[in-house]
A and B are shown apart, each in its own frame.
Chain A
Amino acid sequence: MDNLIALLIAAPLLGAAVLLCGGRKLDKAGHWLGTLLAGASFVIGAVLFVDMLGRSADHRTVTKHLFSWIPVEGFQADVGFQLDQLSMTFVLLITGVGTLIHIYSIGYMEHDENRRRFFGYLNLFLAAMLLLVLADNYLLLYVGWEGVGLASYLLIGFWQHKPSAATAAKKAFLVNRVGDMGLSIAIMVMFTTFGSFAFSTVLGETGGASSGRNTAIGLMLLLAACGKSAQVPLQSWLGDAMEGPTPVSALIHAATMVTAGVYLITRSGAIFNAVPDVQTVVVIVGTVTLLFGAIVGCAKDDIKKALAGSTMSQIGYMVLATGLGPIGYVFAIMHLVTHGFFKAGLFLGAGSVMHGMNDEVDMRRYGGLRKYMPVTFVTFGLGYLAIIGFPGLSGFFSKDKIIEAAFAKGGTEGWILGAVTLLGAAITAYYMTRVMVMTFFGEERWKHAKTPAPDQPGVEPAAQTHGAHDEPHPHESPKSMTIPMIVLAFGSVFAGGIFGIGDRFVKWLEPVTSFDHGNSPVAEWTVTAATIVCLLIGVGLAVAQYGRKPVPAVAPRGSLLTRAARRDLLQDDFNHVVLVRGGEHLTRSLVYLDHSLVDGVVNGTAASVGGLSGRLRKLQNGFARSYAVSMFGGAVVIIAATLLMRAV
Chain B
Amino acid sequence: MNPVNYLYLAALLFTIGAAGVLIRRNAIVVFMCVELMLNACNLAFVCFSRLHGNLDGQIIAFFTMVVAAAEVVVGLAIIVSLFRSRHSASVDDASLMKL
Task: Spell out A's residues near B (CB within 8 Å).
Answer: 617, 620-625, 628-629, 632
Check if A622 sits within 8 Å of B18, measured CB to CB: no
Check if A622 sits within 8 Å of B98, measured CB to CB: yes
Partner of B95, one of A622, A628, A629, A632: A622
Q: In the complex, how many residues of chain B place their beta carbon closer than 8 angstroms to a beta carbon of chain A?
A: 13
Check if A620 sits within 8 Å of B21, measured CB to CB: no
Interface set, chain B 15-45, CB cutoff 8 A to A:
18, 21-22, 25, 30
Q: Does B59 contact A (CB under 8 A)?
A: no
Contact with A along B60-99 (1 / 0, CB 8 A): 0000000000000000000000000000000110111111
Check if A624 sits within 8 Å of B94, measured CB to CB: yes
- List the A side residues contacting B30 at CB < 8 Å: 624-625
A/B pair count, beta carbons within 8 Å:
28
- List the A side residues contacting B96 at CB < 8 Å: 622
- List the B side residues contacting A625 at CB < 8 Å: 21-22, 25, 30, 91-92
A379 to B41, CA, bound (A): 120
- List the A side residues contacting B99 at CB < 8 Å: 617, 620
Interface CB pairs A-B, < 8 A, 11? A621-B95, A621-B98, A622-B94, A622-B97, A622-B98, A623-B92, A623-B95, A625-B25, A625-B30, A625-B91, A632-B18
Contacts A623-B91, A623-B92 given; does A628 touch B22 at CB 8 Å: yes
Task: Spell out B's residues near A (CB within 8 Å).
Answer: 18, 21-22, 25, 30, 91-92, 94-99
Check if A629 sits within 8 Å of B92, measured CB to CB: no
Q: How far is the CB of B28 from chain A (nearest CB, A)?
A: 14
Q: How far is the CB of B22 from chain A (nearest CB, A)?
A: 6
- List the B side residues contacting A632 at CB < 8 Å: 18, 22
- List the A side residues contacting B94 at CB < 8 Å: 622, 624
Check if B91 sits within 8 Å of A624, measured CB to CB: yes
Given contacts A624-B94, A625-B25, A625-B30, 5 further A-B contacts (CB under 8 A): A621-B95, A622-B98, A624-B95, A625-B22, A625-B91
Check if B98 sits within 8 Å of A628, measured CB to CB: no
Closest Cβ neighbor of A628 among chain B residues: B21
Closest Cβ neighbor of B34 among chain A residues: A628
- List the A side residues contacting B98 at CB < 8 Å: 620-622
Closest Cβ neighbor of B92 among chain A residues: A623
Q: How far is the CB of B20 from chain A (nearest CB, A)?
A: 10
- Closest CB pairs A-B (n = 4): A622-B98, A622-B95, A622-B97, A624-B91
Closest Cβ neighbor of A617 among chain B residues: B99
Closest Cβ neighbor of B96 among chain A residues: A622
A624 to B30, CA, bound (A): 10
A450 to B64, CA, bound (A): 114
A4 to B30, CA, bound (A): 106
Q: How far is the CB of B56 from chain A (nearest CB, A)?
A: 20
Q: How far is the CB of A49 from chain B (nearest CB, A)?
A: 92
A617 to B97, CA, bound (A): 12
Among A620, A624, A629: residue with most chain B CB under 10 A: A624
Closest Cβ neighbor of A619 among chain B residues: B98
A627 to B64, CA, bound (A): 22
A621 to B98, CA, bound (A): 5
A489 to B97, CA, bound (A): 101
A281 to B14, CA, bound (A): 95
A632 to B98, CA, bound (A): 19
Closest Cβ neighbor of B24 among chain A residues: A625
A617 to B96, CA, bound (A): 14
- List the B side residues contacting A623 at CB < 8 Å: 91-92, 95
Closest Cβ neighbor of A636 among chain B residues: B18
A617 to B18, CA, bound (A): 25
Q: How far is the CB of B54 from chain A (nearest CB, A)?
A: 23
- List the B side residues contacting A624 at CB < 8 Å: 30, 91, 94-95
A625 to B26, CA, bound (A): 11
- List the A side residues contacting B95 at CB < 8 Å: 621-624
A621 to B91, CA, bound (A): 13
Q: How far is the CB of A244 from chain B (nearest CB, A)?
A: 72
- List the A side residues contacting B21 at CB < 8 Å: 625, 628
Q: How far is the CB of B96 from chain A (nearest CB, A)?
A: 6
- List the A side residues contacting B25 at CB < 8 Å: 625
Closest Cβ neighbor of A632 among chain B residues: B18
A625 to B30, CA, bound (A): 9
A149 to B21, CA, bound (A): 87
Q: How far is the CB of A640 from chain B (nearest CB, A)?
A: 15
Q: How far is the CB of A52 from chain B (nearest CB, A)?
A: 92
- List the B side residues contacting A617 at CB < 8 Å: 99
Q: How far is the CB of A635 from chain B (nearest CB, A)?
A: 9
Partner of B22, one of A620, A621, A622, A629: A629
A283 to B18, CA, bound (A): 97
A632 to B22, CA, bound (A): 10
Q: How far is the CB of B39 from chain A (nearest CB, A)?
A: 17
Q: How far is the CB of B3 from chain A (nearest CB, A)?
A: 21
A555 to B92, CA, bound (A): 96
- List the B side residues contacting A629 at CB < 8 Å: 22
Q: How far is the CB of B98 from chain A (nearest CB, A)?
A: 3
- List the B side residues contacting A621 at CB < 8 Å: 95, 98
A540 to B84, CA, bound (A): 122
